[in-house]
A = this chain, B = another copy of it.
Amino acid sequence: MALYVKKFGGSSVADVKKIKNVAERIVETADRGHQVLAVVSALGDTTDELIELADQVSTIQPKREMDLLLSTGEVISSALLAMAVEEAGKRATALTAHQLGIQTDLTHTRARILGIDGERIKAELAAGKIVIAAGFQGVTENLDVTTLGRGGSDTTAVALAAALDADQCEIYTDVDGVFTANPAVVPEAKKIERIGYEEMLELASLGTEVLQVRAVEVAWKFQVEVHVRSSFNKQLGTIITGSDQVMEDVQVRAVTVDEDQTRFTVHAVPDKPGMAGKIFGALAAREINVDMIVQSSPVSSDSLNDISFTVSRTDSAEALETLDELVELGCGTKLTVDDEVAKVSVVGSGMRNHPGVARDLFTALGEAGINIETISTSEIKISVLVRAARADQSVKILHSLFDL
- Among A32-40, A78-86, A374-382, the one that faces the other chain is A78-86
Verify A57–B80 contact, CB threshold 8 A: yes
Query: Inside 8 A of A60's CB, which chain B residues have their CB?
Result: 83, 86-87
- Bound CA span A176–B79, Å: 37
Q: When A59-B87, A60-B86, A72-B75 are in contact, do A80 and B54 touch as well, CB less than 8 Å?
A: yes
- Bound CA span A118–B58, Å: 28
Chain A, residues 96-129, CB within 8 Å of chain B (1/0): the string is 1011000000000000000000001000000000
**Residues of chain A in range 298-336 having any CB-CB distance to chain B below 8 Å:** none
Say if the beta carbon of A284 comes within 8 Å of chain B.
Answer: no
Say if the beta carbon of A372 comes within 8 Å of chain B.
Answer: no
- Among A61-69, A197-205, A221-229, the one that faces the other chain is A61-69
- Distance (whole angstroms) from the CB of A230 to the closest CB of chain B: 22
Say if the beta carbon of A235 comes within 8 Å of chain B.
Answer: no
Tallying the copies of this chain within the complex gives 2
The residue on B at minimum CB distance from A99 is B143
Say if the beta carbon of A292 comes within 8 Å of chain B.
Answer: no
- Distance (whole angstroms) from the CB of A83 to the closest CB of chain B: 4
- Return 19 A-B CB contacts under 8 Å, by A number: A16-B57, A19-B57, A53-B76, A58-B80, A58-B83, A60-B86, A61-B83, A62-B86, A65-B83, A65-B86, A65-B93, A65-B94, A66-B79, A68-B75, A68-B78, A68-B94, A69-B79, A72-B72, A72-B76
